[in-house]
Amino acid sequence: MADPMGHAGHDPLLVAEAADRGARLAPVLDLCARCVGLYVDLVAVTASLPTSAVPLRPRSFTLTPDDVRRLRPPGWRAWWSAVGSARDNLTRPLAVGLTTLGLAGLLLTAAPTLLLGMGSTAGSAAPSEVAHRAASSEPAGRAPALMGDTTNREATIGADTGPSPTVTLSVGLLVVGGGLFVARRLAVHGRPMR
C-alpha cells in the first residue's frame, strides 16, 4: 500500500524517536524509502557518538606501582601531608581531647582555691575566734598554736614550694593540645592547592 501523502506528510520526529529508543518505524514510514534512509542514518550517528567524543591519548595515564612509590612523600613528610587533610582522623580528636583535659585539670585545681577564697571573704572571723577554735580542737597533750608562733607557719610554707603536679600536667596537656591545633593549621595552609 503506497502512502497517499508522500514523504512531505511524514513526521521526521517519529523517525528520530524510533532511532533513539531502538523501536521499529511505524508501518506507514516503512513504505517510504526516504524515511528508512533517515532512520538508518540516525541509528549510525547514535552508535558512533560515544566513541567519537573520546580524543586519542598520546600516552597511558594510568599510574603504575613505581609511579605511586615515586610520587608518595617519604618518611615524616608522608605523615605531615596527611595532617589536617580529609584522611586525618587522629590529630583533631587528639587535640580536642588533650586541650579539654588540660582545661578541666586547671579548673579543678583552681576551684578549691576560688571556693576557699570566696568562703574566707564572705565569713571572715576575728583572729581571736580562730585562735580559740584552734585551741579547743587541739588534743590535751599539745600546746595550742598561737598567732605569734612562726615555727609551724614557716615549716608549712617551706613544704609548699613549686606548682602542684596537677597544674603541671594540665598545663602540659594544654600546650600539647594547642600545639596539635597549630600544627594542623600550618599543615593545611602550607599545603599547595591541587
- The pLDDT confidence band at residue 57, using thresholds 50, 70 and 90, is confident
99 and 174 part of one domain: yes
104 and 182 part of one domain: yes
Burial 124-149 (b: 16+ CB within 10 A, else e): eeeeeeeeeeeeeeeeeeeeeeeeee
**Cα separation, 21 vs 30, whole angstroms:** 17
Domain holding 106, by residue range, is: 89-110+164-194
Indicate the number of domains in the chain: 2
157 domain residue, yes or no: no
22 domain residue, yes or no: yes
44 domain residue, yes or no: yes
Q: What is the pLDDT of residue 96?
A: 92
170 domain residue, yes or no: yes
181 domain residue, yes or no: yes
27 domain residue, yes or no: yes
Does 163 have pLDDT greater than 70?
A: yes
Question: What is the mean pLDDT of the segment spanning 23-48?
Answer: 79
For the chain, give the mean pLDDT: 74
Does 37 have pLDDT greater than 80?
A: yes
84-137 pLDDT tens trace = 777 788 888 999 999 999 999 999 888 877 777 665 554 455 555 545 555 555
Question: What is the mean pLDDT of the segment spanning 42-47?
Answer: 85
Burial 156-169 (b: 16+ CB within 10 A, else e): eeeeeeeeeeeeeb
Q: How large a percentage of the chain has pLDDT more than 90? A: 12
Nearest to 113 by CA among 178, 59, 166, 43: 166
What pTM was computed for the model? Answer: 0.41
143 domain residue, yes or no: no
29 and 106 part of one domain: no
66 domain residue, yes or no: no
Does 44 have pLDDT greater than 80?
A: yes
105 and 193 part of one domain: yes
